[in-house]
């Protein structure tokens, strides 16, 4: 039936072949070293060596899956597999250390005890998988069953042999049917079982029926060669079913968890990028608003010459237009390049900073660059703000051609950049101990410069202060489509800021 097949993305026939080879290893070893003349009989006498390792491997795989996804069904499967594996391991030890075969009634009694213990735990133990470790509980059940078996074997191994075999078989079959039925159809009865995928539940039910059928055949069929072959075949098939099911389950869950973590990492990275973009935009918005506010205050509180008033008004209009583009749902800064007049871009920014009492000297140069105007404005605004924050008295902007680029140099006479920070100065969040900024502006400016086909660097100037050089592609010669910017002039009431 298709629902009991292992999903193809988690398993293949090559994996099943490898598991089969591993499961057959004990059988091969016994056939090589057994002293018994009938190898089938010798192997069937220690059949627990086939089931116990497989159940323990399946328990370990299921337990590892539980650590990935703590669903109730995975916890109960871990309990059952651990209990089965441990008590089968004890049975294997008894088979190896005793000269007489372990009475078959012991095998059935151990299976029934483990099944009933797990079913009881599913019914009443709602804390398992939440506050209790399922592996500990499972091995605890296995220890209890194994201890009871050993006590029974030490006191009187023949106890129970007088019971009618048909009655014992009916009880045993009913126990197997109970647990197999819960796994196959119990999803509607309790979510603790239904949380396991259908193919895991159904393959586990098949494994229980196959191994249980082998043990029942051993009990009912005696020592006949055909029975021994049936027992050995059932144990091998059941072991392969258990191992392939829970290894495939673990691989599938591990892949799903890896994909989930990968998606989470991608979402986190996108969130970080979005957060940086929002902070960078807010950084520039605040700087722009500060200039507009200062200029508006000057216009209201001072008797200005017409030329100065016009300069401030032009700056306010230019910065308001840029501010409108900054707060637009889709910012345009850095998205398109065209020939722009550097004077028309730098002039309003210089006026904006001068209106805040900052001493900045600059002269129009008439140079044009091929870039996005808002991106260039944001870069230069960052450099002017950085210079004004650290200058002792004055900051200076000079523009000059350099090959096929135009250099915009912003220099201040402040203390300069600490040499320990120079290699990391353009990294996000890096700022000097005396800086009042957030360590955002220079990182944003450098990224914008690169997107415009230019560069931004710190000039290693030993003369003092800090000098930043912005290189932008020079625009082809042509007419200037924009009006000349207002000349930056000192404004009344300027205050020197350190």
If asked whether residues 421 and 350 sit together in one domain, one would say yes
142: nearest Cα among 19, 56, 34, 254: 56
169: nearest Cα among 219, 233, 231: 219
Least confident of 30-34, 74-78, 395-399, 491-495: 491-495
If asked whether residues 318 and 256 sit together in one domain, one would say no
Strand partners, 472: 406
373: nearest Cα among 319, 301, 446: 319
Is residue 154 classed as helix, strand or coil in its secondary structure? Answer: helix
CATH number of the CATH domain containing 363: 3.30.565.10
| pLDDT surpasses 80 at 82 | yes
Note whether residue 427 is domain-resident: yes
pLDDT in tens, 269-328: 887 777 777 777 787 788 788 888 888 888 776 677 778 778 888 888 888 888 887 777
Note whether residue 286 is domain-resident: no
If asked whether residues 347 and 219 sit together in one domain, one would say no
- In contact, 357 and 494? CB cutoff 8 Å: yes
Percentage of the chain beyond pLDDT 70 is: 77
pLDDT in tens, 146-157: 777 777 667 666
CA separation for the pair 335, 227 (Å, rounded): 80
If asked whether residues 92 and 218 sit together in one domain, one would say yes
Note whether residue 391 is domain-resident: yes
- In contact, 205 and 82? CB cutoff 8 Å: no
Note whether residue 294 is domain-resident: no
Note whether residue 67 is domain-resident: yes
Is residue 104 classed as helix, strand or coil in its secondary structure? Answer: helix
Note whether residue 284 is domain-resident: no
Domain that holds residue 411: 302-473
Mean pLDDT over the full length of the chain: 78
Percentage of the chain beyond pLDDT 90 is: 10
| pLDDT surpasses 60 at 485 | no
If asked whether residues 212 and 334 sit together in one domain, one would say no
If asked whether residues 352 and 261 sit together in one domain, one would say no
Least confident of 58-67, 168-177, 228-237, 423-432: 423-432
The mean per-residue pLDDT over the stretch 218-243 comes to 80
- By the 10 Å C-beta count (0-12 exposed, 13-18 middle, 19+ buried), 152 is classed as middle
Note whether residue 497 is domain-resident: no
With the CA atoms of 104, 106, 108 and 114 taken in that order, what torsion angle do they form, in degrees rounded to the nearest 10?
A: -160
Q: Which DSSP letter does residue 475 get?
A: P
If asked whether residues 234 and 86 sit together in one domain, one would say yes
148: nearest Cα among 177, 120, 117: 117
- By the 10 Å C-beta count (0-12 exposed, 13-18 middle, 19+ buried), 316 is classed as buried
Number of domains in the chain: 2
- pLDDT higher at 487 or 156: 156
If asked whether residues 214 and 330 sit together in one domain, one would say no
pTM value > 0.85 = no
pLDDT in tens, 118-129: 676 666 555 665
If asked whether residues 32 and 104 sit together in one domain, one would say yes
If asked whether residues 63 and 149 sit together in one domain, one would say yes
The mean per-residue pLDDT over the stretch 41-69 comes to 81
Strands 405-412 and 338-341: unpaired
If asked whether residues 256 and 312 sit together in one domain, one would say no
Triad 20, 23, 26: Cα angle to 5°: 140
The pLDDT assigned to 308 comes to 78
Name the band, by pLDDT with cuts 50, 70 and 90, for residue 437: low
If asked whether residues 240 and 124 sit together in one domain, one would say yes
Note whether residue 152 is domain-resident: yes
């Amino acid at each position: 039936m298709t629902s009991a097949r292992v999903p193809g993305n988690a398993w293949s026939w090559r994996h099943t072949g490898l598991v089969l080879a591993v499961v057959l290893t004990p059988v091969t070893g016994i056939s090589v070293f057994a002293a018994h003349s009938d190898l089938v009989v010798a192997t069937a006498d220690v059949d627990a060596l086939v089931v116990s390792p497989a159940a323990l491997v399946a328990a370990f795989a299921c337990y590892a899956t539980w650590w990935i996804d703590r669903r109730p069904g995975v916890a109960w499967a871990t309990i059952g597999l651990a209990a089965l594996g441990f008590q089968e391991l004890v049975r294997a030890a008894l088979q190896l250390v005793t000269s007489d075969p372990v009475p078959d009634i012991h095998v059935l009694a151990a299976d029934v005890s483990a099944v009933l213990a797990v079913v009881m735990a599913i019914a009443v133990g709602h804390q398992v998988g939440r506050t209790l470790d399922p592996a500990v509980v499972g091995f605890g059940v296995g220890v209890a069953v194994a201890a009871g078996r050993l006590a029974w074997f030490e006191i009187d191994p023949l106890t129970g042999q007088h019971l009618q075999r048909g009655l014992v078989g009916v009880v045993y079959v009913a126990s197997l049917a109970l647990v197999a039925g819960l796994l196959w159809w119990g999803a509607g009865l309790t979510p603790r079982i239904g949380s396991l995928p259908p193919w895991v539940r159904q393959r586990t039910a098949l494994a229980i029926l196959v191994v249980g059928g082998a043990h029942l055949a051993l009990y009912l069929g005696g020592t006949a060669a055909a029975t021994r072959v049936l027992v050995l075949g059932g144990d091998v098939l059941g072991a392969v079913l258990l191992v392939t099911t829970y290894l495939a389950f673990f691989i599938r869950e591990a892949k799903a968890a890896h994909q989930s973590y990968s998606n989470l990492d991608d979402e986190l990275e996108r969130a970080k990028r979005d957060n940086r973009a929002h902070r960078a935009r807010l950084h520039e918005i605040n700087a722009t608003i500060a200039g507009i506010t200062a200029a508006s205050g000057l216009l209201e509180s001072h008797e200005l010459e017409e030329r100065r008033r016009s300069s401030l008004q032009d700056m306010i209009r230019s910065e308001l237009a840029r501010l409108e583009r900054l707060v637009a749902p889709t910012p345009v800064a850095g998205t398109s390049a065209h020939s722009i007049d550097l004077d028309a871009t730098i002039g309003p920014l210089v006026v904006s900073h001068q209106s805040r009492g900052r001493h900045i000297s600059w002269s129009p140069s008439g140079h044009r660059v091929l870039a996005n105007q808002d991106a260039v404005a944001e870069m230069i605004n960052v450099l002017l703000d950085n210079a004004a924050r650290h200058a002792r008295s004055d900051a200076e902007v000079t523009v000059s051609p350099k090959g096929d680029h135009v250099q915009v140099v912003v220099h201040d006479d402040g203390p300069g950049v600490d040499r320990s920070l120079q290699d990391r100065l353009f990294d996000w969040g890096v700022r000097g101990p005396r800086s009042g900024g957030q360590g955002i502006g220079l990182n944003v400016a450098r990224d914008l410069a690169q997107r415009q086909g230019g560069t931004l660097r710190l000039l290693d100037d030993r003369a003092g202060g800090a000098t930043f050089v912005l290189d932008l592609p020079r625009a082809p010669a042509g007419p200037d489509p924009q009006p000349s910017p207002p000349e930056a002039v000192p404004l009344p009431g300027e205050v020197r800021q350190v």
